[in-house]
Structure 1
Amino acid sequence: MPTPPAYALVATDLDGTLLRPDDTVSARSRAALALAASAGARHLIVTGRPVPGIRALIADLAYTGLVVCGQGTQLYDADSARLL
């Protein structure tokens, strides 16, 4: 029986956490997210930004899944590009 991953979910904020001051994601952070995904963990973005402020980043990361945004008042499905 395979060992379950140490973490099933990796939740990251954007500003000052996943994003650098120039609003880009470092190669190191991208590699860490890829490693977590390869181990079976899912990535969840949690941000105070509203949906229009995250669309470009989601596209750049090729992110699929849910995003908690708008100071916690919005849930965005990146797969279907729709606010839930």
Structure 2
Amino acid sequence: MMMVSVDKYVEGKRETGFSVPVGLVRVMSGLLPAAARRGLAGRGIYVDEMIAASTNEAPFSRWVNVTEHGVEKAIKLTVHN
């Protein structure tokens, strides 16, 4: 089963993470309003690319930098088996 993993790193060390089935991401993405999709895309999170990668069983990995409570963090999004 294809999964989407989200891992949060602070100063190069993994702080936390979770994985969900791609099917759940696919269903939930269909429920997202267009404004939410644009907001995610504006932060470098392209849900359609993750779903397409899973459909083709192609590797997908992307890093997104965020600031949380004044602390710089890196988020790694991965689609995998």
Pairwise TM-score range, normalised by the shorter structure = under 0.3
Structure with the larger strand share: 2
TM-score computed with the length of structure 1 as normaliser = 0.24
TM-score computed with the length of structure 2 as normaliser = 0.25
